[in-house]
């Protein structure tokens, strides 16, 4: 055991030396032609998606194209063309207390859930006619607490997180849980998927990494890195790290290879607000963080410095996300509006 500890310590020293020599460029300089390639200034407000009449709690981009879905406490999901700002479809929900929404990989389905404890899956109707409550969708029922987040793995598989402290991998066609993951001790608030892994953030102040291929326990536990509830998690573009946002105004970058924190993002003027949502630019050079003080901060991932502030919302920024092609950022707010930046 002593020899093993010495080997681990030596490997950690070698890893730190390699990072110093490379200036961490190996994971920051991912080649891409996304619109965020040049650091701020340069990210500009483009358009507003206006149509909800209640607080917007969640949004999610389609994997390809300009489609995105938003969920609001007006009791509707709206599917948008973010380029034209046109509403493609409105789905009237059976429960207005919605907290999360997601597009499937092929954009054929959207899912949502909230205080009803249920994940509902809707088919995206090309006719663009509104769907009402009479068209009952598949309902995934197993959680004993509110549904905080959901993300598709495939068109027939989805991961949900809940206030009951569990995460569930579902088979949508059979409407049955495939695997239930229970290592968290408090509400699980967010999930992000990358290939065979997913990462979760919880009110127990831990982030955990899971392999959904049959293992019920987490494969990596980031305990002790946070001092408050974790509200949002997002994988780094190469899947080797992930970002978190928590109640104590801090966003962090955590590394899967060393199981340690690489960077912390803290604005000294934001000691009394929380980070509600995080996502990365396609290059991985920028981290976008939404706050409950109505602002979005753009952070330089490598040096931890603030690159820009986006401040056109008039209430809490509740959600944000970068489009699949990296060309646009969408932010959603309790002011009932979505804004597109590029």
Q: Has residue 187 been placed in a domain?
A: yes
Instruction: Answer with the residue of higher pLDDT: 104 or 16.
Output: 104
State residue 300's pLDDT score.
97
CATH code at position 66:
2.130.10.10
10-19, 195-204, 300-309: the lowest-pLDDT one: 10-19
1 inside domain: no
- Say if 191 falls within a structural domain: yes
Residue 15, pLDDT score: 59
SS3 assignment for the chain: CHHHHHHHHHHHHHHHHHHHHHCCHHHHCCCCCCCCCCCCCCCCEEEEEECCCCCEEEEEECCCCCEEEEEECCCEEEEEECCCCCEEEEEECCCCCEEEEEECCCCCEEEEEECCCEEEEEECCCCCCCECCCCCCCEEECCCCCEEEEEEEECCEEEEEECCCCEEEEECCCCEEEEEECCCCCCEEEEEEECCEEEEEECCCCEEEEECCCCCCCCEEECCCCCCCEEEEEECCCCCEEEEEECCCCEEEEECCCCEEEEEECCCCCCCCCEEEEEECCCCCEEEEEECCCCEEEEECCCCCEEEEECCCCCCEEEEEECCCCCCEEEEECCCEEEEEC
Stretch 123-138: mean pLDDT: 63
Is 19 domain-assigned? no
What confidence tens digit (pLDDT) does each residue in 149-195 have?
Answer: 999 999 999 999 999 999 999 999 999 999 999 999 999 999 999 99
Q: Is residue 25 part of a domain?
A: no
Q: Which of 96-110, 121-135, 213-227 shows the lowest mean pLDDT across its residues?
A: 121-135
pLDDT value at residue 215: 79
| Average confidence (pLDDT) over 45-61 | 98
**How much is the average pLDDT of 266-295?**
93
Give the pLDDT of residue 269.
Answer: 79
Is 330 a residue whose pLDDT tops 90?
yes
**Confidence band (pLDDT; 50, 70, 90) for 262?**
very high
- Minimum mean pLDDT among 129-138, 201-210, 243-252: which range? 129-138
| Domain-embedded: residue 118 | yes
Residue 261 lies in a domain: yes
Residue 68, domain member (yes or no): yes
pLDDT (average), residues 311-338: 97
Question: What is the share, in percent, of the chain residues with pLDDT greater than 70?
Answer: 85
Q: Is 17 exposed, middle or buried (0-12, 13-18, 19+ CB in 10 A)?
A: exposed
Confidence of residue 214 (pLDDT cuts 50, 70, 90): confident
Quick one: average pLDDT of 189-212? 97
Give dist(CA 91, CA 99) in Å, integer. Answer: 15
Confidence of residue 41 (pLDDT cuts 50, 70, 90): low
Over residues 72-97, the mean pLDDT reads: 96
Phi, psi of 155 (to 5 degrees): -65, -15
pLDDT of residue 216: 87
pLDDT at position 11, please?
Answer: 64
- Half-sphere CA count of 329, side-chain side, radius 13 A: 26
Number of domains in the chain: 1
Q: pLDDT band at 36, cuts 50/70/90?
A: very low
Tell me the residue range of the domain where 313 lies.
Answer: 31-341
């Amino acid at each position: 055991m002593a020899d093993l500890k010495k080997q681990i310590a030596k490997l950690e020293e070698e890893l730190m030396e390699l990072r110093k020599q490379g200036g961490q460029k190996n994971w920051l300089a991912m080649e891409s032609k996304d619109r965020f390639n040049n650091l701020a200034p340069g990210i500009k407000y483009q358009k507003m998606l206006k149509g909800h009449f209640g607080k917007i709690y969640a949004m999610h981009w389609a994997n390809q194209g300009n489609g995105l879905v938003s969920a609001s406490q007006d009791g509707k999901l709206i599917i948008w063309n973010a380029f034209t700002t046109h509403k493609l479809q409105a789905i009237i929900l059976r429960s207005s207390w919605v907290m999360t929404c997601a597009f499937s990989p092929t954009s054929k389905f959207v899912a949502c859930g909230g205080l009803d404890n249920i994940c509902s899956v809707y088919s995206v109707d090309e006719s663009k006619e509104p769907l009402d409550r009479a068209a009952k969708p598949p309902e995934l029922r197993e959680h004993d607490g509110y549904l905080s987040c959901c993300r598709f793995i495939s068109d027939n598989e989805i991961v949900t997180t809940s206030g009951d402290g569990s995460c569930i991998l579902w088979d949508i066609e059979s409407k049955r849980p495939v695997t239930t993951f229970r290592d968290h001790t408090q509400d699980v608030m967010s999930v992000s998927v990358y290939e065979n892994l997913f990462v979760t953030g919880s009110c127990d102040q831990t982030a955990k990494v899971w392999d959904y291929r049959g293992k019920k326990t987490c494969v990596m536990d980031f305990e002790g890195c946070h001092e408050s509830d974790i509200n949002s998690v997002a994988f780094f573009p190469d899947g080797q790290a992930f970002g978190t946002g928590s109640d104590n105004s801090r966003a962090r970058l955590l590394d899967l290879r060393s199981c340690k924190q690489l960077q912390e993002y803290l604005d000294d003027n934001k000691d009394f607000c929380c980070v509600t949502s995080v996502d990365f630019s396609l290059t991985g050079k920028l981290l976008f963080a939404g706050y409950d003080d109505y602002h979005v901060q753009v952070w330089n991932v490598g040096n931890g410095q603030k690159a820009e502030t986006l401040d056109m919302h008039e209430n809490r920024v509740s959600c944000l996300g970068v489009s699949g092609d990296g060309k646009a950022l969408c932010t959603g707010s309790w002011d009932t509006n979505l804004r597109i930046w590029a």
